[in-house]
A and B are shown apart, each in its own frame.
Chain A
Amino acid sequence: EAGVAQSPRYKIIEKRQSVAFWCNPISGHATLYWYQQILGQGPKLLIQFQNNGVVDDSQLPKDRFSAERLKGVDSTLKIQPAKLEDSAVYLCASSGPGTGSNQPQHFGDGTRLSIL
């Protein structure tokens, strides 16, 4: 099966600029996740969608980060304005077709964001 697709693979921007990442989950997967992985750390969940509804966004810095999953398929994550500490790899994952913790998460290759 085709995996989770993410774009772009790399992005370099200056602080205070805005940036957007795109994710296309595995076909039929109801749940979509965005993670932030800072160098030397494990992935940290930013937001979880089930279909097009938000399940958990408790760790999303809502003053600058936003995410949407229109039509319950593709998703975009936006940062506006970016700060130096946002330099990280942004991972998208999906699970399904059902829900529940017994559905393993499948990860994309990630977008490596560098803030100058």
Chain B
Amino acid sequence: AQSVSQHNHHVILSEAASLELGCNYSYGGTVNLFWYVQYPGQHLQLLLKYFSGDPLVKGIKGFEAEFIKSKFSFNLRKPSVQWSDTAEYFCAVSPFGNEKLTFGTGTRLTIIP
């Protein structure tokens, strides 16, 4: 069975700082990778996804993530964060060809104006 680790439980940054949230997964085969975001009071939304091809994927609101297969990692990045990025971020993985998502425990991001 697959598993996902998000080592940063709570990250606090000032506006305009750069962001990198870590995500590592454990699975022996090919995977699909996702980042979901949950803004305060809202439902989970897809931020970006990786299925195949270019390991650097771009999502909404200036976010990107890089799949490094050798490190089993899919870290989320943003060069300059905004106060509106305050949210909880979840990394998730599914085996290739399977819709079953396994989520990490999430990282709470707080941006200080």
User: Which residues does A use to contact B, with CB under 8 Å?
Assistant: 3-4, 31, 33, 40-45, 48, 55-56, 91, 93, 95, 99-110
Contacts and interface: CB of A to CB of B under 8 A. Distances in A.
A42 B100 contact: no
Contacts of B51: 101-102
Contact of B94 (A44, A101, A110): A101
B96 A42 contact: no
A107 B4 contact: no
Contacts of B100: 45, 48, 56
5 contacts: A45-B100, A95-B99, A99-B99, A104-B46, A109-B43
A103 to B, nearest CB: 7
Most chain A beta-carbon contacts within 10 A, residue among B45, B95, B99, B101? B99
Contacts, number: 59
Interface stretch (B13-21, B64-72, B77-85, B103-111): B103-111
Secondary structure dominating the interface of A:
loop
A99 B101 CA distance: 14
Range for the number of chain B residues in contact with chain A:
20 to 34
Contact of A44 (B44, B46, B103): B103
Contacts of A106: 46
Interface string B39-51: 0001111100101
A45 B42 CA distance: 20
Contact of B44 (A40, A48, A91, A99): A91
B32 A42 contact: no
Contacts of A4: 43
Contacts of B97: 100-101
A42 B49 contact: no
A107 B96 CA distance: 21
